[in-house]
Amino acid sequence: NAGVTQTPKFQVLKTGQSMTLQCAQDMNHEYMSWYRQDPGMGLRLIHYSVGAGITDQGEVPNGYNVSRSTTEDFPLRLLSAAPSQTSVYFCASSSWTSGRGRADTQYFGPGTRLTVL
């Protein structure tokens, strides 16, 4: 299994540009989510999905859109990039039915480092 993969690894955008960060998992996990991590800070939840066709907002959703058309993929769209969106973006996935019942064991991808000029 490749686990959780994210592309691209690095991206530089100009203010106002749009782009999509890709996230895919091959573990058949129902739950997927996006976090951002600013320098020296912990991770903050942007959007999440509990299954194909279902998405919801996290703590910091403004400026981002998501969709979940398949179990495997959960892309994050930046509609009009702003310098405040300069951050490292992590995608995570997990199974509702993991072996420990309610265990919240998230599997994280390697991250996408985004700079908005």
Partner 1 sequence: DAKTTQPPSMDCAEGRAANLPCNHSTISGNEYVYWYRQIHSQGPQYIIHGLKNNETNEMASLIITEDRKSSTLILPHATLRDTAVYYCIENAGGTSYGKLTFGQGTILTVHP
Report the C-alpha gap between 56 and 35 in whole angstroms.
13
Q: In the complex, what is the shortest distance from the CB of residue 30 to partner 1, in angstroms, rounded to a whole number?
A: 10
Q: In the complex, what is the shortest distance from the CB of residue 77 to partner 1, in angstroms, rounded to a whole number?
A: 20
Residue 17 or 27 having the CB closest to partner 1: 27
Strand ranges, E, within 9-111 = 10-13, 19-25, 31-37, 43-51, 54-57, 64-66, 76-78, 87-94, 107-108
Residue 14 or 104 having the CB closest to partner 1: 104
Residue 59 or 79 having the CB closest to partner 1: 59
Binding site for partner 1 (CB under 8 A): 4, 31, 33, 35, 40-45, 48, 50, 58-59, 88, 90, 92, 94, 96, 100, 102-111
Residue 67 or 98 having the CB closest to partner 1: 98
Report the C-alpha gap between 11 and 74 in whole angstroms.
18
